[in-house]
Amino acid sequence: MLLEENKALLRSLVEAENKRNLALLVELMAPDYVDNAIQLRSREEYKQMQTIVGNAFPDFHETIEDITAEGDKVWVRFKATGTHKGEYRGIAPTDKKFTLTGVLIYRIVNGKIAEKESGVYDFLDFYKQLGVIEYKGFPDEVK
């Protein structure tokens, strides 16, 4: 049953992120939470990042596509969507919609999210969708 509880914990995290419920985010995370994927070292830094994302992409919404648990680990394949309405990492709003996909690995300790061990995000496609970079793919002769 613990595996199902761990998956439910991650579903609650995504729901809290989608509702911008920062108080619940803190409640779900261990006091010494670490995010190795984007180099955050505390729950407070995570809350700050969520505020930045919410201000830049007010309609940001994350969906769990697949979720798997084994031992103290939970793997989540997700899809996030939104519209770039506010400044993000020095990039002025583009009003462009995006879809971001990725895979995240979390570690659960004593019923709390202790660590995001790793994350694989398709940021190349994300920035391409915002019009920040131009990526043409491989030359035709490579295909």
Distance CA 3, CA 13 (A): 16
Residues 41 and 56: their CA atoms lie apart, in Å, by 22
Q: Please provide the average confidence, as pLDDT, over all residues in the chain.
A: 94
The residues facing 102 across adjacent strands are 78, 121
Structural domains of the chain in order of their starting residue, each with its CATH number = 2-136 (3.10.450.50)
Q: How far apart are CA 29 and CA 105, in angstroms?
A: 14
pTM value is 0.90
Between residues 138 and 91, which one has the greater pLDDT? 91
pLDDT band per the 50, 70, 90 thresholds, residue 141: low
* pLDDT 10s digits, 43-95: 999 999 999 999 999 999 999 999 999 999 999 999 999 999 999 999 999 99
Q: What is the structure's pLDDT at 142? A: 56
